[in-house]
């Protein structure tokens, strides 16, 4: 079974602080994704990656950076956190090459920026 884990599960940060959200997958999937979920907006793609060393901008990348140091790990970095970044963040992984590959989601990280 696909396994995507996220840490921390909950985070409270201060405005202007740096926040790093981590994601690990044990499926050996090439593709990984970061989404944020807000009421009324569904899932919005922030950054994604096709493999170690690659990061791509999604639909709402402003204020976020991503890092993919290895096949298994994908981080989302908020250099200067703002209250508008308060949200639930989901990481997902998926198989490349499969045209209709399923995405497997982690349990989410609830971030509150005060």
103 binds other proteins per the rule CB under 8 A: yes
| Burial (CB count <10 Å: 0-12, 13-18, 19+), residue 3 | exposed
C-alpha span between 74 and 21 (Å, rounded): 9
Q: Residue 72's closest CA among 108, 21, 11, 30? A: 30
Binding mask 21-60 for other proteins (x = CB under 8 A): ----------x---x----xxxxxx--x------------
Shortest distance, position 66 Cβ to other proteins, whole Å: 15
Quickly tell me which residue has 């140091």 as its tokens: 69
Q: Minimum Å distance from CB 4 to other proteins?
A: 8
80 contacts other proteins (rule: CB under 8 A): no
CA distance 95 to 101: 6
- In terms of CB distance, is 77 or 101 closer to other proteins? 101
Residues engaged in binding other proteins (CB under 8 A): 4, 31, 35, 40-45, 48, 90, 92, 94-96, 98-108
């Amino acid at each position: 079974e696909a396994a995507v884990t996220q840490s921390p599960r909950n985070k409270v940060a201060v405005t202007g602080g740096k926040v790093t959200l981590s994601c690990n997958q044990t499926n050996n999937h090439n593709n990984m994704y970061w989404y944020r979920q807000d009421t009324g907006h569904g899932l919005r793609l922030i950054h994604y990656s096709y493999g170690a060393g690659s990061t791509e901008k999604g639909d709402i990348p402003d204020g976020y950076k991503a890092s993919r140091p290895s096949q298994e790990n994908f981080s989302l970095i908020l250099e200067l956190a703002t209250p508008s970044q308060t949200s639930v963040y989901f990481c997902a992984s998926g198989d490349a090459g499969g045209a209709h590959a399923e995405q497997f989601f982690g349990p989410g990280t609830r971030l509150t920026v005060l």
